[in-house]
Amino acid sequence: MDRKLIIDGNAVYELDEKCMLKKQLNTSEKKDEHKRRESDGHKMKRTE
């Protein structure tokens, strides 16, 4: 089981470590893609 309990006073938090790792990897991949596009000269344009 990849879960962690955090007890803070009367509050109890349950963390799903697999979910956190998946989210971290997705965020990292998006940052890498953004850096790659900037280095290729394909900066994203803002739309308003």
pLDDT at 11: 94
Q: Domain span at residue 12?
A: 3-37
14-43, pLDDT tens digit by residue?
Answer: 988 888 889 889 898 888 888 888 887 655
Tell me the average pLDDT across 3-20. 90
Q: How confident is the model at residue 3 (pLDDT cuts 50, 70, 90)?
A: confident
Residue 23 lies in a domain: yes
User: What pLDDT score was predicted for residue 33?
Assistant: 84
Residue 48 lies in a domain: no
Asked if residue 11 belongs to a domain, the reply is yes
Distance CA(9)–CA(12), nearest Å, equals 8
Q: How confident is the model at residue 12 (pLDDT cuts 50, 70, 90)?
A: very high
Classify residue 8: in a domain, yes or no.
yes
What pLDDT, on a 0 to 100 scale, did the predictor assign at position 31? 85
Q: Are the C-beta atoms of 14 and 4 separated by less than 8 Å?
A: yes
**What is the Cα 22 distance to its own chain's centre?**
7
Total number of domains in the chain: 1
31 lies in a domain?
yes
Cα separation, 29 vs 17, in Å, equals: 18
